[in-house]
Structure 1
Amino acid sequence: MTARASANSNPKLLDQYIKKILSANVYDVAIESPLHIAPFLSERLGNNIWVKREDKQPVYSFKIRGAYNKVVQLTDKEKAAGVVAASAGNHAQGLALAAKELGIKATIVMPLTTPEIKVKSCKARGAKVVLHGDTFDEAFAYSQKLVEEKGYTYIHPYDDPEVIAGQGTIGMEILRQLNDPIDAIFVPVGGGGIIAGIAAYVKFLRPEIKIIGVESTESACLHAALAAGRRVTLPSVGIFADGVAVAQIGKNTWDIARHYVDEVITCSPDELCAAIKDIFDDTRAVCEPAGALGVAGMKKYVEREGIKGANLVSILSGANVNFDRLRYISEVAEIGEGREAILAVTIPERAGSFQQFCSLLGKRPITEFNYRYRDDNSAQIYVGVKVGAEKDARQKLLTELEAKDYPVLDLTEDEISKYHIRHMVGGHAPDSVNDELLYRFEFPERPGALLQFLKSLGKKFNISLFHYRNHGAANGRVLVGLQVPKDKNQKKEVETYLVELGYTYWNETNNPAYQLFLR
């Protein structure tokens, strides 16, 4: 998915921001982050891929730049009253450090879903942390209440000219660090602070360089705004990439982005996981999902345009990721890259059949194999296979299996296969469970969330299947089988009941993976 900005320009606006960026005070606390070549990605994609290492900042993200530039310019009276911000974590850490350096009291309001590593980091830098709400917008509303009650000065994470100017120093550094012609810069987008700052500086001096925003498909607020021609509020926001989980692009950032961002590319969580692995392979940096957006978008751009030999810069915006989330990231990285296939294959139930099947796979590594006896004639297996990075590698494998008369079903893109079935394969339900409906749920992950979900689900219908796995992501995923009598009124009642629960859900009763392995 892409969206393109307006071709109109606003030179006066650029003049204002250039002056602010050139006079921005960030280097009391921030470093000029290195610009590293990514050798493996460069070779694989046929272009010169550069990574701007904002993970090297003292707070492991670019946010220190904008936060310090804003706070250092406050009046003595404002500094004495203290500052407050709402943040998913990176801006919070930047503000905490800025306030500590300047001897100012800082209060940070964070969503309950914020990774623990970010909460600890803010506290370690002397800030008072208040956990409130499940999203940035709920945390923001509470922070405004504190402004009214306590007289704090609110330091916005992105929608402030001085914050934007602080982030704009990244663009200044890139042009200074890379003398060769730059074709495009890929910038993560949440509320728009970093892309607005970079676009303002780069487009003033080098308008031929493309500024391309990259958003998560779960929070693509700039993409939606460009498509509508105005700022819009997303009805819901996914928080896998919590650093960019914003429902509406900022007002000040929109004024710049709508004129000077060339286009916006959106990337799925699976694609972000693949980009995290790519960055690790080249730099040994373990970045957060939002931090990998630039590389993920750049890869899609290269594939779409078919360009070769270009100089492409991606912003690695942050590395504040909970360690336990890496388990989930590693599980789906190869799928996100298209290098792993998840298949359901029927093989004969006889000695040597598995060996024969593996021989057909050749040197392709098997990443996962699940099996349980079904009957005397055939066995249904759930298998993961590495297929290589070639565009048609998965289809080639499917064709080979079908040519050898193996019934095969491709489950690589199936949600419940990736997150549930692979951990549950072990046999079909007994004949007595013949009235089961299957539902997939998502809920905000935080301490006690699973218990709250179970309490909400209640005892109205018997639970015949249940799978939950905490994989460190911001959303909990649950697969539930409910026994519902085969009666139209009963089925209508269960749907009404689930709507009233208020959780996002999908009916997966007809899902082929469920039918093959668990029904």
Structure 2
Amino acid sequence: MKTKDLYVPHLEHVKRAANTLQGVVAVTPLMNSLTYSKAFHSNIMLKREDLQLVRSYKIRGAYNKISTLTEEEKQRGIVCASAGNHAQGVALSCKLLGIQGTIYMPSPTPKQKVEQVEMFGESFVSIVLKGDTFDDSYKAAMINCQAEQKTFVHPFDDEKVIEGQATVALEILSQSSETIDYIFVPVGGGGLASGVSSVIKLISPTTKVIGVEPEGAPSMQKAFLYGEPVELPQIEKFVDGAAVQRVGDKTFAICQQHLDAMITVSEGKVCQTILELYNKDAIVVEPAGALTLSALDQFKDEIKGKNVVCVVSGSNNDITRTAEIKERALLHANLKHYFIVRFPQRAGALKEFVAEILGPNDDITHFEYSKKHNRENGPAVVGIELKTEADLAPLVERMKKRNFYGDYLNNKPDLFQFLV
């Protein structure tokens, strides 16, 4: 895209969006995080978009877009595709504006998010679960949209949506009494990042804006690498609010010009952050909402003594995912390990393993014989949780010395996927 053709939100349009959103969206707090400020020796502030009525910033772009439709477009109705948060924003907007909407969501969308969409939209929305990813839902939604001549409300690659999301930046700048050195913003399709970065660079050009996306879905990072949006053949769907196979054309062009860096964080690190926020600060976030705080480790030297804002984008987490979140966090910290244990052909081998091979702080969290017959002497898959990462090497050494060691499964993805 040529520079002269590049769409960048005009500040007056973003301010107009902010006026449109008055009384509809909350002016969410910009609060200091004592926990993270102390850990990184900086002033870490959280922009709490998880505290919106729909529990994410997505209501901003959705309402701003739908409110600009003509009366004829409103009569025909709207269609959208979403992994969950955009759907909730669209659903509430439809109800508030009295417009009928059809919402396409991926089949694996957490039940909690589907129920929230139904609650916010009531009789004004119908939900269609289609495909495995956002991109599958998007394609199905576009077919329906064209067939019935309805307006498609894009979750990120739309000017009015971008302008709505950009109001987050206006609030941040008005709420901080000090110059902001860094803003970390989560990236899925790029709507929030493009809106925030464009406004920040207009008003506070010295502020560095860092985009953060999940390691398993690096669609914006790949777009930066190739100089244009590319469709990833497959993605890790765990961070569902930020897992898209292709970023938008408009959002990419804006982010390419205005983001100072585009980085990824691992899903395991995201899980650690989710647990830390809950256990230390009683803040509940979804995986996408933990992306920005998960990135601070990579900038720990640069941000020391600086004023830093992390956008906490949403809190639509499904409690049924808690076990998986804990498991991924432990694996990332190298505290959870899976082995094939071959019990020696001698009496009392299982008792010996528990009493003499395991360390005093080691805990068996998974145990399954690989063969249902010969249970006392057959090999078993054993999951062990350690107290510290340093406990692993001595454990493996004891297993090998006493002929219990069969194989280590954590670094064998083809086998490991059946356990986690």
Q: Paired residue for 2:203?
A: 205
Q: Paired residue for 1:385?
A: 386
Q: TM-score, normalised by structure 1?
A: 0.69
- Deviation, structure 1 residue 367: 6.2
Q: Paired residue for 2:14?
A: 21
Q: TM-score, normalised by structure 2?
A: 0.85
Q: Does 1:309 align with 2:305?
A: yes
Q: Paired residue for 2:95?
A: 100
Greater helix share, 1 or 2?
2
Secondary structure of 2:386's counterpart equals strand
- For 1:17, the aligned partner's letter is H
Distance in 1, matches of 2:362 and 2:306, equals 34
**Change beyond 3 A, Cα 1:155–1:397:** same
Matches within 5 A, 1:103-502: 103-124=98-119, 125-126=121-122, 127-302=125-300, 305=301, 307-336=303-332, 338=333, 340-342=335-337, 344=339, 349=349, 354-357=354-357, 361=359, 364=361, 366=363, 368=365, 370=367, 382-387=383-388, 394=389, 396-401=390-395, 407=401, 412-415=410-413, 420-421=418-419
Identity of aligned residues (%): 34
**Change beyond 3 A, Cα 1:341–1:175:** same
Query: Which of structures 1 and 2 has the larger relative contact order (alpha carbons within 8 angstroms, sep 6+)?
Result: 2
Distance in 1, matches of 2:115 and 2:34, equals 34
- Deviation, structure 1 residue 159: 0.6
**Change beyond 3 A, Cα 1:375–1:242:** closer
- Deviation, structure 1 residue 145: 2.2
- Deviation, structure 1 residue 271: 1.8
Distance in 2, matches of 1:75 and 1:380, equals 62
- Deviation, structure 1 residue 175: 1.7
Q: Does 1:81 align with 2:68?
A: no
**Structure 1: where are the runs of 5+ without partners?**
1-7, 388-393, 422-476, 478-519
Distance in 2, matches of 1:106 and 1:90, equals 15
Distance in 2, matches of 1:333 and 1:252, equals 35
- Deviation, structure 1 residue 341: 4.2
Secondary structure of 1:112's counterpart equals coil
**Change beyond 3 A, Cα 1:382–1:260:** same
**Change beyond 3 A, Cα 1:341–1:110:** closer
Secondary structure of 1:91's counterpart equals helix
| CA RMSD across the alignment | 3.1
**Structure 2: where are the runs of 5+ without partners?**
370-374
Secondary structure of 1:324's counterpart equals helix
- For 2:304, the aligned partner's letter is K
**Change beyond 3 A, Cα 1:226–1:47:** same
Deviation track 1:83-122 (CA, whole Å, cap 9, x = no partner) reads: 1111111111101111111111111111222221222222
**Change beyond 3 A, Cα 1:353–1:98:** closer
Q: Paired residue for 1:456?
A: none
Q: Paired residue for 2:372?
A: none
Q: How many residues align?
A: 400
Distance in 2, matches of 1:379 and 1:327, equals 22
Match of 1:70 among 55, 58, 65: 65
- Deviation, structure 1 residue 223: 0.3
**Change beyond 3 A, Cα 1:310–1:84:** same
Distance in 2, matches of 1:351 and 1:115, equals 41
